[in-house]
Copies of this chain bind each other. A is one copy, B any other.
Amino acid sequence: MKAICGIDVGGTTIKIGLFDEEMNLLEKYAIKTTENIFKDVADSLKDKNYEILSYGVGVPGPVVDNVVDCPNANLKNVNVKEELKKYVHNDNIFVGNDANMAALAEAKCGAGKGYKSCATITIGTGIGCGIVVDGKILNGDFGAGGEIGHIKVTDEGQCGCGNIGCLETTCASKGIARIASKSDRLRGLSTKDIVDMAREGDEEAFKLIDSVCYYLAYAASIMACVVNPSAIIFGGGISNGGAIIIDNIQKHFDKIAFKNVKNTKILKASAGNDAGIIGAAYLTKC
């Protein structure tokens, strides 16, 4: 059977999805990430009965001309297309950054479906973001398009990138833990715990969450002025807190955004856990 293969390379597992030509998911599975990423992927596909038309690969780190540079994930200046090609003997290989793959999934079949352009902010240990304009990823000349996790928003919080006050030092899970650690009551609690307390009316927890939502809204107001997409979508991390989070981001966005971009929709991601493989598969059609 003919299939499109979407591959989502993570630090611990590699997710693989097979899709038909109408992009319906036929099968998905995961393998462990080892030092032989591309051989392992090819081996895992060998005993499956597909005629694979094309491969889309999402990898962590910036991607330029199929080359990814992410030393943490054993991908230091690796030409992903050339490496995978060695094992699958197919030239139809497309490579992108994982945050961009999640954004592509949202744009094609998630919360951003039907909008001309949209941006997806994915919150995790860090903050990833992908921008899709007219169906295509805004990759940036050096692969850093959508890297809003490293916009400076405060004067505190040491970021892994070396700078102080990047968005992710306040709004990613590590950042929220950093701020919570200043409070005797909130220290050591998970983001989920703090969001739950805020929802139940705990003043200190709400103040922390409200501040995080303010900075996410600020980042959205910037995206809206620079790229002016129809929708800005939040996924992962604190955004899983549900309506209280999205509504609170919207409240701050309404206050600080430029009047000409106030109609930007603030939405919760909906492509789900398979966004990485879905986006990678769609990349083959961009």
Contacts and interface: CB of A to CB of B under 8 A. Distances in A.
Interface in A113-144: 115-117, 131, 133, 138-144
B221 A144 contact: no
A33 interface: no
Nearest to A255: B163
A286 to B, nearest CB: 13
Interface in A201-247: 218, 221-230
B141 A228 contact: yes
A116 B65 CA distance: 13
Contacts of A142: 228, 230, 260-261, 263
A227 B140 CA distance: 6
Given A62-B260, A221-B151, A226 B131 contact: yes
B152 A256 contact: yes
Interface residues on A, range: 35 or more
Given A226-B131, A227-B145, A162 B221 contact: no
Contacts of A144: 224-225, 228, 258, 260-261
A259 interface: yes
| Copies of this protein in the complex | 2
A146 interface: yes
A149 B249 CA distance: 22
A141 to B, nearest CB: 4
A148 B261 CA distance: 12
Interface string A7-29: 00000000000000000000000
A240 to B, nearest CB: 24
Contacts of A228: 139-145, 147
A277 to B, nearest CB: 25
Contacts of A62: 260
For chain A, what secondary structure do more than half of its interface residues adopt (helix, strand, loop), or is it mixed?
loop
Contacts of A218: 152
A66 B44 CA distance: 52
A74 to B, nearest CB: 19
Contact of A226 (B115, B152, B222, B259): B222
A75 to B, nearest CB: 15
Contacts of A223: 226
A147 B230 CA distance: 15
A268 interface: no
A139 B230 CA distance: 12
Interface string A28-72: 000000000000000000000000000000000010000000000
Nearest to A263: B142
8 contacts: A139-B228, A141-B228, A142-B260, A145-B226, A147-B258, A147-B261, A148-B225, A222-B226
